[in-house]
Structure 1
């Protein structure tokens, strides 16, 4: 019985390792940012936040935090 529980828990842990945002894998976020800005600069805070809100459906607070962690000024 314990072996079954361990197998189920391991399967759940492995399932949790899938990417959170599949848009990053497909490149659709890059396409979206290029549509917003011809010369997108992820280090520019205004551009980064605007792209996050528009392309990743974020909100100002989380996008600002995300951009700060990515090194935007």
Structure 2
């Protein structure tokens, strides 16, 4: 019975971790779409976010600002 409780707890804990691993593949889409992609350029960053990450203007502007775009 105790083993069953530990196994259930392990599965519940594993199910809570929905964060995806960062592998660097998120930078491939903007590079493919924009020949000279500059992540510090706000217009390019927002456009890449909208097309590659399927974001909207508000969320992409916030994300780009947090990444250091101006």
Structure 2 residues not aligned, in runs of 5+: none
TM-score of the pair, normalised by structure 1? 0.68
Structure 1 residues not aligned, in runs of 5+: none
Return the offset for 1:36: 1.9
After superposition, the CA RMSD in angstroms is 2.5
- 2:61 is paired with a residue whose SS is helix
Greater gyration radius: 2
Aligned residues: 68
Measure the CA separation in 2 of the matches of 1:64 and 1:9.
Answer: 39
What residue is the counterpart of 1:58 in the other structure? 55
After the TM superposition, list the runs of 4 or more consecutive aligned residues in structure 1 that deviate by more than 4 angstroms.
Answer: none
